[in-house]
Structure 1
């Protein structure tokens, strides 16, 4: 289901619709404002989402729509911030910086297409045919880029253009390999050990939800070949990935480039108040989405995983509901 805070955001919604039409995924379109029509929004989310697997919320300005929807359901909620004022930064931060218990996966500004691609990846967690189609779509980018290059050369190359000759390099084969336990569903990756406190929160929350995870440290800049090899080794075995990273978060983009499974990103605060982390993680090009959480929001990343698995797993849904009830009690008595 695609929910718009205002019908004026239809151009952003159209990007998502185009992807769903291309992928033959059924969808619904609704308009409801978290501020102007809260009861209408509540009615839609509570009583009209039976059978809906993922909700995409599109909103600008003080974009509280995704968070309100996330507070009313345990389904995965994907936010698309819209550029209305301030370049969309106001709506982007309104979507990412959610309280514990209401996780929202935020896309780049106006990236309705990536919201739809992430929704397809989530649905594909329980649909092998859709998973195969996603892989074929990713492979098709190679021919698309090749065609774009040829058109570019024809358009602007001058008399001094010279095509470089390919050479064969003796690349050292990566000896490292990765093998996970058979019941591992989530692979958590960080680029170093400096974000261990965030990783611990992720693992603890996943354990509470009875979701098996494993954790590895691999740098996307110092050992990119090892990262690629590790993803290749386990991609058929895990359901999704969580990437924990700070500074210029190359790690999440590197993981996304090697898989068509959902990648949840947790940007961490190191410098610049974490703004560098969150912007380099969230602003991904079309077709390669990162489900970005708030700064240091490891627990919400784990809860978003729980929401994905709860679509098809009654036991995890019960664990998730129980966790949320406990959380609400703790908040009440604070």
Structure 2
């Protein structure tokens, strides 16, 4: 395990495709990360051990993705005072509402910053982690600003195309 700034935990390997956009953004921004599977219910000791080990190595933000009961983010929040970001995953007939509520409803003093479901939440979890890290990293701040300018440019290009057609 190297010196990751962000840890990304998934409750199940079946969540990997939904969390890949998070990893892609962390890579683009050159943020060191650790990506793994750990379950709040099946491997609670592993989850607690990983949080401790990663904190010792300098991890500053934890991103946790889980569906169904979705207790992973809460289990991690119980073991750290570092920011924990939760990505609820659709995995049941309830359409992700169960995961969303399990992730967002935390007791006082153990917050989880809950994002949107699935890939949208995965993307924004990476961006939120980057913004947290950028509070003390000017080079990362500049990377985020540049990425936002790319978003603006894409919208302006799309607008120019549409307007040229009419």
TM-score range for the pair, normalised by the shorter chain length: 0.7 to 0.9
Tell me the equivalent position of 2:42: 36
Aligned pair count reads 156
Larger Rg: 1
Deviation at 1:47, TM superposition (A): 2.7
Q: Which runs of 5+ in 1 are unaligned?
A: 162-334
Tell me the equivalent position of 2:139: 129
Distance 1:70 1:118 in 2: 16
Structure 1 residue 68 and structure 2 residue 78: aligned?
A: no
Distance 1:8 1:47 in 2: 25
Deviation at 1:153, TM superposition (A): 5.5
Structure 1's 84 and 152: CA in aligned 2 closer, same or farther, altered over 3 A?
farther
Q: Which runs of 5+ in 2 are unaligned?
A: 1-6
Q: TM-score, normalized by length of structure 1?
A: 0.45
Which structure is higher in RCO with an 8 Å CA cutoff and minimum separation 6?
2
Superposition RMSD on alpha carbons, in Å? 1.5
Tell me the equivalent position of 1:48: 54
Distance 1:151 1:60 in 2: 40
1:100 to 92, 95, 108: 108
Structure 1 residue 119 and structure 2 residue 119: aligned?
A: no
Structure 1's 91 and 16: CA in aligned 2 closer, same or farther, altered over 3 A?
same
1:7 to 13, 25, 38: 13
Deviation at 1:152, TM superposition (A): 4.5
Structure 1 residue 88 and structure 2 residue 128: aligned?
A: no
Deviation at 1:48, TM superposition (A): 3.4
Deviation at 1:151, TM superposition (A): 4.3
Distance 2:115 2:60 in 1: 18
Tell me the equivalent position of 2:66: 59
Distance 2:54 2:113 in 1: 21
Q: TM-score, normalized by length of structure 2?
A: 0.88
Tell me the equivalent position of 2:158: 148
Tell me the equivalent position of 1:230: none
